[in-house]
Amino acid sequence: MPKRISARGVKTHRNYRFDQLADIVGVTVATVRSWCKKGLPYITDQRPFLIRGRDFKEFHEAHLKGRRQKLAPFEVYCLTCKRAMQPCEGLVDYEIFRPGRCLILALCPHTGNTARRFISRRDLPDWAAKFGFVINKRSDD
Protein backbone atom coordinates (compact mmCIF):
# COMPACT_ATOMS: atom_id res chain seq x y z
CA MET A 1 0.00 0.00 0.00
CA PRO A 2 1.29 3.47 -0.78
CA LYS A 3 2.10 5.78 2.09
CA ARG A 4 1.06 8.81 0.09
CA ILE A 5 -2.39 8.54 -1.42
CA SER A 6 -3.90 10.44 -4.32
CA ALA A 7 -7.36 11.91 -3.95
CA ARG A 8 -7.60 12.81 -7.64
CA GLY A 9 -10.10 10.04 -8.42
CA VAL A 10 -12.54 11.20 -5.77
CA LYS A 11 -15.29 13.45 -7.15
CA THR A 12 -16.57 16.24 -4.90
CA HIS A 13 -20.24 15.86 -5.87
CA ARG A 14 -20.51 12.10 -5.28
CA ASN A 15 -21.08 9.99 -2.20
CA TYR A 16 -19.01 6.86 -1.62
CA ARG A 17 -19.38 3.71 0.44
CA PHE A 18 -16.33 2.82 2.53
CA ASP A 19 -15.27 0.06 0.12
CA GLN A 20 -15.69 2.31 -2.94
CA LEU A 21 -13.56 5.05 -1.43
CA ALA A 22 -10.93 2.52 -0.40
CA ASP A 23 -10.73 1.17 -3.98
CA ILE A 24 -10.46 4.62 -5.53
CA VAL A 25 -7.80 5.86 -3.13
CA GLY A 26 -5.90 2.56 -2.98
CA VAL A 27 -6.15 1.74 0.72
CA THR A 28 -8.01 -0.85 2.77
CA VAL A 29 -11.50 -0.44 4.22
CA ALA A 30 -9.93 -0.51 7.68
CA THR A 31 -7.93 2.58 6.76
CA VAL A 32 -11.11 4.42 5.73
CA ARG A 33 -12.72 3.41 9.04
CA SER A 34 -9.71 4.73 10.96
CA TRP A 35 -9.99 8.04 9.05
CA CYS A 36 -13.61 8.24 10.22
CA LYS A 37 -12.47 7.74 13.82
CA LYS A 38 -9.93 10.55 13.28
CA GLY A 39 -12.61 12.97 12.11
CA LEU A 40 -13.62 12.21 8.52
CA PRO A 41 -17.38 12.97 8.49
CA TYR A 42 -19.73 10.33 7.14
CA ILE A 43 -23.49 10.02 6.73
CA THR A 44 -25.08 7.64 9.25
CA ASP A 45 -28.79 8.20 8.47
CA GLN A 46 -29.02 4.96 6.50
CA ARG A 47 -26.96 1.92 5.65
CA PRO A 48 -24.51 1.59 4.03
CA PHE A 49 -22.74 4.58 5.58
CA LEU A 50 -21.66 7.13 2.99
CA ILE A 51 -18.78 9.58 2.74
CA ARG A 52 -19.24 12.73 0.70
CA GLY A 53 -16.46 13.35 -1.79
CA ARG A 54 -16.14 16.98 -0.71
CA ASP A 55 -15.71 15.95 2.93
CA PHE A 56 -12.99 13.47 1.99
CA LYS A 57 -11.09 16.06 -0.08
CA GLU A 58 -11.20 18.57 2.80
CA PHE A 59 -10.08 15.91 5.29
CA HIS A 60 -7.26 14.83 3.00
CA GLU A 61 -6.02 18.42 2.47
CA ALA A 62 -6.05 19.07 6.23
CA HIS A 63 -4.12 15.84 6.81
CA LEU A 64 -1.48 16.84 4.23
CA LYS A 65 -1.09 20.33 5.69
CA GLY A 66 -0.49 18.84 9.12
CA ARG A 67 2.34 16.67 7.81
CA ARG A 68 4.26 19.37 5.95
CA GLN A 69 7.17 20.86 7.79
CA LYS A 70 8.77 24.14 6.82
CA LEU A 71 12.56 24.02 6.98
CA ALA A 72 14.61 26.96 8.20
CA PRO A 73 17.59 28.11 6.14
CA PHE A 74 20.43 25.55 6.21
CA GLU A 75 18.29 22.79 7.73
CA VAL A 76 17.82 19.28 6.35
CA TYR A 77 15.13 16.70 7.10
CA CYS A 78 15.95 13.24 8.43
CA LEU A 79 13.44 10.64 7.24
CA THR A 80 14.36 8.27 10.07
CA CYS A 81 14.01 10.77 12.94
CA LYS A 82 11.14 12.58 11.19
CA ARG A 83 12.53 15.97 12.18
CA ALA A 84 14.48 18.90 10.83
CA MET A 85 18.03 19.47 12.00
CA GLN A 86 21.09 21.59 11.40
CA PRO A 87 23.83 19.38 9.90
CA CYS A 88 27.35 19.34 11.29
CA GLU A 89 30.15 20.97 9.31
CA GLY A 90 32.13 18.47 7.27
CA LEU A 91 29.25 15.97 7.09
CA VAL A 92 27.49 17.62 4.14
CA ASP A 93 27.74 16.87 0.42
CA TYR A 94 25.62 17.52 -2.65
CA GLU A 95 24.45 15.91 -5.88
CA ILE A 96 23.22 17.63 -9.01
CA PHE A 97 19.60 16.54 -9.33
CA ARG A 98 18.74 18.35 -12.56
CA PRO A 99 19.98 21.58 -14.16
CA GLY A 100 18.37 23.99 -11.68
CA ARG A 101 18.26 21.82 -8.52
CA CYS A 102 20.68 20.16 -6.15
CA LEU A 103 20.20 17.56 -3.47
CA ILE A 104 21.97 18.29 -0.18
CA LEU A 105 23.03 15.13 1.68
CA ALA A 106 24.02 15.21 5.33
CA LEU A 107 24.55 12.66 8.09
CA CYS A 108 22.04 12.76 10.90
CA PRO A 109 23.91 12.94 14.22
CA HIS A 110 21.14 10.98 15.99
CA THR A 111 20.75 7.98 13.68
CA GLY A 112 23.74 8.13 11.34
CA ASN A 113 21.43 7.90 8.33
CA THR A 114 21.35 10.33 5.43
CA ALA A 115 19.22 13.45 5.78
CA ARG A 116 18.24 15.33 2.62
CA ARG A 117 17.04 18.61 1.22
CA PHE A 118 16.48 19.91 -2.28
CA ILE A 119 17.83 23.40 -2.92
CA SER A 120 18.11 25.74 -5.86
CA ARG A 121 21.38 25.59 -7.79
CA ARG A 122 22.02 29.26 -7.07
CA ASP A 123 22.00 28.55 -3.30
CA LEU A 124 24.73 25.92 -3.59
CA PRO A 125 27.67 28.34 -3.04
CA ASP A 126 26.09 29.56 0.22
CA TRP A 127 25.76 25.97 1.47
CA ALA A 128 29.34 25.20 0.40
CA ALA A 129 30.68 28.22 2.29
CA LYS A 130 28.72 27.39 5.46
CA PHE A 131 29.43 23.65 5.60
CA GLY A 132 32.88 23.48 4.00
CA PHE A 133 32.40 21.30 0.94
CA VAL A 134 33.89 21.98 -2.48
CA ILE A 135 31.76 22.43 -5.58
CA ASN A 136 33.09 20.19 -8.34
CA LYS A 137 33.52 22.29 -11.48
CA ARG A 138 32.90 19.38 -13.88
CA SER A 139 29.47 18.63 -12.36
CA ASP A 140 28.75 22.37 -12.12
CA ASP A 141 28.68 22.78 -15.94
- Reported as a single tens digit per residue, the pLDDT across 69-116 is 788 888 888 888 888 888 877 788 888 888 889 999 988 888 888 888
At 86 the pLDDT is 86
DSSP 43: B
Are residues 25 and 60 both part of a single domain?
yes
| Of 75, 91, 74, nearest in space to 83 by CA | 75
Q: What is the pLDDT of residues 40-49, one digit of tens each?
A: 999 999 999 9
Are residues 123 and 93 both part of a single domain?
yes
The pTM assigned to this predicted structure is 0.54
CB distance 103 to 118 below 8 Å: yes
CB count in 10 Å sphere of residue 82: 9
Give the amino acid at 131: F
SS3 45: coil
At 40 the pLDDT is 94
At 1 the pLDDT is 38
| Of 85, 77, 75, 17, nearest in space to 46 by CA | 17
Are residues 95 and 131 both part of a single domain?
yes
List the domain range (segments joined by +) for residue 133.
76-140
